[in-house]
Structure 1
Amino acid sequence: MIPQERPAAPTLTALLATLATLAFAGPAQAHVKWFAPYIVDAPPREIGATLGNVWFWAGIALVVAFFLAARLVERAAVGETVLSAMDRASDPLHRRLDDFVRVCIGAFFVAVFAVGGVYLTPDLQTPNEWVSWTQLAIAACVFSRKTMPIAAVGILALWIVALTDYAFFHLLDYLALGLGVAGYLVLASSSNESLRERRFETLRWAVAIALMWSSLEKFAYPDWFYPLVEERPYLTFGLPRDVFIPMAGVAEFTLGFGLIWTPLVRRLSALALLVIFTAAVYPFGRIDLVGHALIMAVLVAIAADRERHPHFLPALKRRLAGVPTGLAAALVVMIGGYWGTHFAIYGEDYRAAAGPASAERMTHAPNAEHPHGAVAPLEPQPLDADATGSIAPGVDPASALFAEANRRMHEAMTIDPSGDIAVDFVRGMIPHHVGAVAMAEIALAHGEDPEILALAREIVAHQEEEIRLMRDWLERRGVEAAAMPGEPGHDGHAQEGHLREGDARGGHAHE
């Protein structure tokens, strides 16, 4: 959906807030689905596993302490002094804040136009060329108050059109921010001043909900993050993987929550998030920068916004007890919404009941710019009619599919020697890896053992990257790779676990 500059807080309080945040969060805040395989319809981990995790509660305690400290400063006489100092530091930006936001919105859509082949972020790919030109038209429309509503309609239209290629649950990641930016454009163009004054509040809520929702992946699917932190261990600041991931999720959720709280809390939360997202640009590159540009721009606007009076539940926000109460309510609402919506769409036993035809759509094909990037997914086709012919009676269909994938792998590995051992090695290893990925995806579609499911996801991530590297190596030497049935450009049937270009993104036919 939509993840940054390193503006320093002008006060000791802001500096301490940033340091406290970085103690349990880091660059791995980048949206994991951009960089690692994942299965949209996979049942999320039971919420009890998170509620029973001591590190989850340790993170909550740290953030609540930070928010309470900020509220104590805010309530004291020094609070207005701190806010006034922040006002003075951001005054040049504040005087042109609407121009800044509109320029950033326009620049974002120009950037995704330049990337090409995506909807609202690099995460949502599309082969439709007209989508890119629509993005350029949206960018052009944000610079006039008369055409800003047209840009808003264009943003919502792109989200709706994306539903033809992506599952609804997957697109919920992107709905809040899209609605927020569209709402800002409509309100900012309004001649009704009482409506216009809510435009930045709309953006705050949009980013807050987007961050809180996406952070829940770290609790629902922590194994999605395993290949990422194992490949780049520095992201965890030396913390064990299973300590860092839940605490990073808490940081993202609670700082998102902070954006809708009182003035000092939201401005410090925005600054802390800016530091985190900016730090993510270095390890994850331009895709992270482009993908999170809108959130980063809104965070700058939140940090510069001088609004002093909260409109939603002001009495609760003014009380110290409102911090844990409000955070608890946000957790209940968002967790209930995430798990509840997933259950409503897929059901507890969705993947088992759906069978191979559905399961083959669910594994994500990662972005090739990142080390987890993949070779193009294979086109799904039905298995041969005799695919299970050699399987003994009583053997379950998943085993039959696994055996057929194994047979095809070994068949494709049979190559004519070229006399160059390096070339022969690479030509043979490509179908070996493709077969391994196919078997891993069958295990993901039909297996239940959590340890094996995590291992299978790692196999998909690493071996697809190696496939891409080997194909690039052969291409540079003008050598044709050994063909696996069903690969792009080849005739034949694909193995059951492989994916359509669009189906890789959540049941449609994302990254």
Structure 2
Amino acid sequence: MGILFYVVSARDAEAHVKWFCAYDVAGQPRGLENVLCLDFELLLGTAVFWLFAGCLIEPTALGEATIRALDRVTAGLRLRTEEMIRAVCAFFFISIWAVGGILLTPELKTTSTMVGVLQLAIAAGMLWRRTLPLSAAGMAVLFGIAVYYYGAFHLADYPIFLGVAAYLALVGLQKDLFGIRPLDVVRYAAAVTLMWASIEKWAYPEWSFPLLIEHAAITLGFDNEFYMRAAGMVEFTLAFALLWTPLIRRCASAVLAGMFISACFEFGKIDTIGHSAIIAVLFAIICDNKAYERDRRAAWLAPVGLCGALTVTLFAYYVGHAAIFKTSIL
């Protein structure tokens, strides 16, 4: 089972299904009695084991050697983290302007010409640090427009955009957020984004089935239902790891970045554009060698935290969906 967990993580193409397949956000999700099956429990047990093992390794000589190796490999990019994120954000907004008809992500459509003007203005604002807060405000406006037309539940898929906007605003103003660094703000947003997105793999696995038929190699021969459960668990565990200690979050970021980059080769231009910002954020996390006293945590807290985060996220998703769309939880 452990081998399977790593194989799926290596081959799981992180295409966002809403960009390529039919979906219905308001539709009835799989009931929790279907989601919380034996396969789910075995996969969770595997995730807990590997996360706990990683936490035990981190304070050892092997963990310290791994951190030093990461520091050496990422030293050059670490000095240019801000410039990298700004450049990729400029690329992202110019690209969606060039494609046309997109608010923030490929399934969020618009016919407004002013949205295109705002996207170009946001991209131009990336050229200078002092204009970053204006670009951040423009991103918040686009997010607000998307919420207005598509609803808050749909946009719960994309808090990463608010995280990137906050990062840009804080960097431009050269401030932190109540003692939280700009990079940590966007790291938390990335973790929440990916944990929430993983729930859809369990709640609506059928959305992805056409992709799995077309790109059958990524399933490694496993049943589509099981593959989606495994892919969701891998994504959720790695997303939670972004909230954890320095080595754990840097390694999780490296695996996630590899998954997203592999999806770009598998699914093409739209996937490359759509995931470019989160890939940049993941590389920034890989390069980040800052460690604080609050990062020290007992290893046994990681499994507790993972299970707690999973419970809270599942509860929020299903209860929120039922409250908004009047669907059943069970």
**What is the aligned partner in structure 2 of residue 345 from structure 1?**
324
The reply to whether residue 47 of structure 1 matches residue 32 of structure 2 is yes
Q: Secondary structure at the match of 1:75?
A: coil
**For the aligned residues, what is the CA RMSD?**
2.2
Write the letter of the residue equivalent to 2:253: A
Q: CA deviation at 1:232?
A: 2.3
**Which amino acid is 2:59 matched to?**
R
Is the 8 Å Cα contact of residues 148 and 186 (structure 1) preserved in structure 2?
yes
Once residues 263 and 176 of structure 2 are traced to their aligned partners in structure 1, the CA distance between those partners, rounded to angstroms, is 38
The alpha-carbon deviation at position 78 of structure 1 amounts to 3.0
Matched-pair contact (CA < 8 Å) for 1:25–1:244: no
2:223 is matched with 240
* Structure 2 counterpart of 1:299: 282
1:88 positional shift: 0.9
Structure with the bigger percentage of helix: 2
The amino acid of 1:32's aligned partner reads V
Q: Which amino acid aligns with 2:271?
A: D
SS in structure 1 at match of 2:105: coil
Given that 1:261 and 1:310 are in contact with CA atoms closer than 8 Å, whether structure 2 keeps it comes out as no
Counterparts of 2:293 and 2:209, CA distance in 1: 39
Structure with greater contact order relative to length (CA < 8 Å, sep ≥ 6): 2
Asked whether 1:22 is paired with 2:7, we answer yes
Corresponding residue for residue 47 of structure 2: 63
Partners of 2:13 and 2:262 within 8 A in 1: no
Q: How far apart are the structure 2 equivalents of 1:154 and 1:249?
A: 32
Can you give the 5+ residue segments of structure 2 that lack an aligned partner in the other structure? none
SS in 1 for 2:128: coil
Aligned ranges for residues 267-416 of structure 1 at < 5 Å? 267-309=250-292, 311=294, 314=295, 318-348=297-327
2:13–2:260: 8 Å Cα contact kept in structure 1?
no
Distance 1:288 1:310, change over 3 A: farther
Contact 1:27/1:283, CA 8 A, preserved across alignment: no
Equivalent residue number for residue 135 of structure 1: 119
2:83 is aligned with 1:99: yes
- Deviation at 1:336? 1.1
Check whether the contact 1:119–1:126 (CA below 8 A) recurs between aligned residues.
yes
In the other structure, the counterpart of 2:232 is 249
Whole-angstrom distance in 2 between the partners of 1:157 and 1:18: 44
CA displacement 1:240-276 (0-9 Å, x = unmatched): 1121110001111111111111111111111111111
Write the letter of the residue equivalent to 1:97.
Answer: T
Once the two structures are superposed, what CA deviation does each residue of 1:88-113 show, in whole Å capped at 9, x if it has no partner? Answer: 11000011111111111111111111
CA distance 1:261–1:139, change in 2 (3 Å): same
Give the 3-state SS of the residue equivalent to 2:277 in structure 1.
Answer: helix
In the TM superposition, residue 146 of structure 1 has moved relative to its aligned partner by: 1.8
Shift of residue 130 of structure 1? 1.4
Could you tell me how far apart the structure 2 residues matched to 1:230 and 1:196 are?
A: 47
How far apart are 1:193 and its partner, in Å?
6.3
TM-superposed deviation, 1:124: 1.0
Amino acid at match of 2:55: R
Larger gyration radius, structure 1 or structure 2? 1
Specify the alignment match of 1:202 in structure 2: 185
Which residue number corresponds to residue 443 of structure 1?
A: none
Query: Does the C-alpha gap of structure 1 residues 133 and 255 become closer, same or farther in structure 2, counting only changes over 3 Å?
Result: same
Contact 1:262 1:310 in 2 (8 A): no
The answer to which of 148-157 and 186-195 deviates more is 186-195
C-alpha deviation, 1:87, in angstroms:
0.5
Gap runs ≥5 in structure 1:
1-16, 350-511
Contact 1:226/1:241 (CA < 8 Å) preserved in 2?
Answer: yes
Identity of aligned residues (%): 39
- So what's the TM-score if we normalise by structure 2? 0.93
